[in-house]
Amino acid sequence: MLTATPLAMWFLQAAGEPSALMCQDASRSFLITCLTIDLVVVLACIALKWYLGRRLAGYRTSLLAPLVIAFVVSTVLVAWNPLKNELLLDCIASEEFSRYVLMAHVSPAARGLVLGGLVSAVLYFVILFLVGLVARARKG
């Protein structure tokens, strides 16, 4: 697969016209941004679950409250997309190059639910499962 160097990307962006390669790179960086947001929110909520489980709440509350918080916060952050760049917006607005951007034709709320909330919920349970396996291995 052909990828552009930063200098080549600068020259392409200076032209002001999006290309297929630029839109693929913008989509990839958007996906990496979404996954980073999800991971940070999930790790914060796992720390909150650990704190609630040790100090304040029962098992169900300490499991479900951080899950709901992770789902809502990651959905809102991915839908709002505070790290969006002009190239991504140009690619989404372009009829020709919007096909290269992941979920370009859906509303930001739906994009936030799929790339934010659902991914963070799955990631939350996967990380909790792995932490449980490690804890059992240490005990036994």
pTM over 0.85: no
Q: Are 79 and 37 in contact (CB under 8 A)?
A: no
Query: Beta-carbon neighbour count of residue 13 at 10 Å?
Result: 16
Give dist(CA 49, CA 42) in Å, integer.
Answer: 10
The mean per-residue pLDDT over the stretch 113-139 comes to 95
State percent of the chain over pLDDT 70: 89
Q: Are 57 and 102 in contact (CB under 8 A)?
A: no
Q: Are 26 and 87 in contact (CB under 8 A)?
A: yes
H helix count then E strand count, the chain: 6, 0
